[in-house]
Amino acid sequence: MTDDTWGRVCNELQKTVGQNNYTTWIAPLELIHLEDGIASFRAPTKFMRDWVSRNFAEPILSELRRAGVSAERVDISVPLRQAANGIKPAAKPAAAPVKPRKPVRAEAEPLPGAPLDARFTFDSFVVGKPNELAHAAAKRVAEGGPVTFNPLFLYGGVGLGKTHLMHAIAHELRVQRPDLRVLYLSAEQFMYRFIQALRDKQIMDFKEMFRSIDVLMVDDVQFIAGKESTQEEFFHTFNALVDQGKQIVISADRAPGEIKDLEERIKSRLSCGLVVDLHPTDYELRLGILQTKTDAYRAEYPDLQIAPGVLEFIAHRISSNVRILEGALTRLFAYASLIGREITMDLAQECLKDQLRQSERKVTVEEIQRKVAEHYNVRLSDLVGPKRLRAIARPRQVAMFLAKSLTTRSLPDIGRRFGGRDHTTIMHGIRKIEELRATDSQLAEDIELLRRLLES
Ligand code: ADP
Ligand code: MG
């Protein structure tokens, strides 16, 4: 296979796995050769090798095949040095391995971190597609081994498990590596400590304390946006620790580049480790969480009775964040135990009226068009416009199909939103997709993916 072919396959992969995934996982791969149906690549780290093998081998193979290359298997190796110790090459500031430092340093000052929630452990964290990578990366940090990526930057909307994962890391490290000094705190607390130190003229102590930490975790770092001197101090602390090869974990509600009023140099430092987003929950994850919490609850209250289908109903209907989902379940249990009845569908509907109403989210035709256009990489204006090219007409029909199945709009109404098309055209489009879907598994998959995206 020529580099050209691989270049073309890469272009296709960008579309199939998405730009973000592509940049993070595929672009760093180096193609070594293709022999006997085995496509051999080199990845910069072990972590990367494992993740790519597990999640991207299939897309890579199918794109290779589509490009006419016969490939049966993807084989990814890592440079020997990495294979031995898992350290990332020193492209970034050199990170020395954290040395095991036993025995426990009992003489050291206790760290002024925030209290940890005992419930936030890895055991109680339910893993699903949307948080799989964040979980894997957090687990890796929790081993307390050599620093593989620095910092680990976790971001995502509220209530998706960022704080939970950080606490879990801290709990786990306490057990696995009691010799390490681990500090977890919010960015707000960081600022508060800093200001206090300034006021009390103890800034040297402050600096010294932070520089003695082995694993530093700062939650909700977006808080320091716009706070200049705190940013400055944070930046120095951050650099000092990274230079010593100490692990840093950061969370925020958005990606580093998207935090407004954060200095450029901080943004770029924050981006240079592993940046992972926690995606909105999907149905499977929500159901998993509900089941896990119910099991835990049942262990305490064996009398709890839940009719079949109730958890599925909640997972389906309350699709906002996990905190709200948990809140709904707790409310339901409390209510049921108060009135001493089995939790039936009726009871759930009655008890969760408000929560259900709130999360009733209507998908709009416009939203569907936007997502479909994005997914197929066509312009929104083309999607609703007159062009008859297959590359545009097919996505258009997919959008019509989804508009019919996800909204309550009538065919003429949908037609109007597709550039004033006749309702028979819409009908034809929908039929076409229904037909194709039965035989074209790629199309069926696309539709399923889009449906989930739109409903989450
Ligand atoms: P964030 O910090 O992202 O706003 P949290 O970590 O505080 O969110 O999570 C909100 C609540 O949801 C917590 O009670 C947490 O235990 C729970 N939670 C979030 N994700 C999961 C998960 N995957 N499994 C179990 N519980 C979860
Ligand atoms: Mg949080």
The predicted-structure confidence for 213-254, as pLDDT tens digits, reads as follows 999 999 999 999 999 999 999 999 999 999 999 999 999 999
Question: How far is ligand 1, taken at its centre, from the CA of residue 212, in Å?
Answer: 29
* E strands in 176-328: 182-186, 215-219, 247-252, 274-277
Q: What is the mean pLDDT of residues 166-177?
A: 95
> Identity (one letter) of the amino acid at 219?
D
> What DSSP string runs through 13-39?
HHHHH-HHHIIIIITT-EEEEEETTEE
How does residue 109 score in pLDDT terms, banded at 50, 70 and 90?
A: low
Written as one string, the DSSP assignment of 297-340 is HHHH-TT--B-TTHHHHHHHH--S-HHHHHHHHHHHHHHHHHHT
Average pLDDT of span 81-101: 44
pLDDT for the residue numbered 425: 95
Architecture of the CATH domain 132-277: 3-Layer(aba) Sandwich (3.40)
Residue 79: per-residue pLDDT: 76
The alpha carbon torsion through 265, 269, 271, 273 (nearest 10 deg) reads 170
Is the pLDDT at 125 greater than 90, yes or no?
A: yes
The whole-number pLDDT of residue 84 equals 47
CA nearest ligand 1 atom 23, residue: 126
pLDDT at 455 over 60: yes
222 Cα to the center of ligand 2, angstroms: 11
> Which of 164, 167, 253 has most ligand 1 atoms within 8 Å of CB, for mutation?
164
Q: Where are the domains of the chain?
A: 3-81, 132-277, 283-358, 365-455
Q: Tell me whether residue 357 is exposed, middle or buried, using C-beta atoms within 10 angstroms of its C-beta: 0 to 12, 13 to 18, 19 or more.
A: exposed
- Residue whose CA is closest, atom 21 of ligand 1? 161
pLDDT at residue 95 tops 50? no
Residues with CB under 6 A from ligand 1: 120, 124-126, 131, 158-164, 289, 322-323, 326
Protein residues within 5 Å, CB atom, of ion ligand 2: 162-163
Cα-to-centroid distance, 231 and ligand 2 (Å): 20
Residue with tokens 């958890």: 311
Write down the H helix ranges in 306-422: 310-317, 322-339, 345-351, 353-358, 365-376, 380-384, 390-406, 411-417
Nearest ligand to the CA atom of 321: 1
Q: What CA–CA distance (Å, rounded) separates 316 from 19?
A: 29
Q: What is the pLDDT of residue 382?
A: 94
User: Of 93, 14, 91, 7, which is closest to residue 45 (Cα–Cα)?
Assistant: 91
CATH among 3.30.360.10, 1.10.1750.10, 1.10.3720.10, 3.30.70.100 for 365-455: 1.10.1750.10
CATH 3.90.1150.10 matches 3-81: no
Residues 6+ apart with CB under 8 A from 60: 9, 13, 26, 39, 74
Ranges 79-83, 98-102, 146-150, 377-381: which has the least confidence: 98-102
Least reliable range by pLDDT among 21-25, 350-354, 373-377:
21-25
Note whether 233 and 204 are within 8 A (CB): no
Tens-digit pLDDT profile for residues 211-221: 999 999 999 99
pLDDT band at 105 (very low <50, low <70, confident <90, very high): very low
Q: Tell how far the Cα of 159 is from the centroid of ligand 2, in angstroms.
A: 7
Residue 94 pLDDT greater than 50, yes or no: no
Which DSSP helix (H) or strand (E) runs through 163? helix 162-176
Q: Please give the class, per CATH, of domain 283-358.
A: mainly alpha
Q: Hey, whose CA ends up nearest to atom 25 of ligand 1?
A: 125
The mean pLDDT value of the chain amounts to 87
Is the model's pLDDT at 46 over the cut of 80? Answer: no
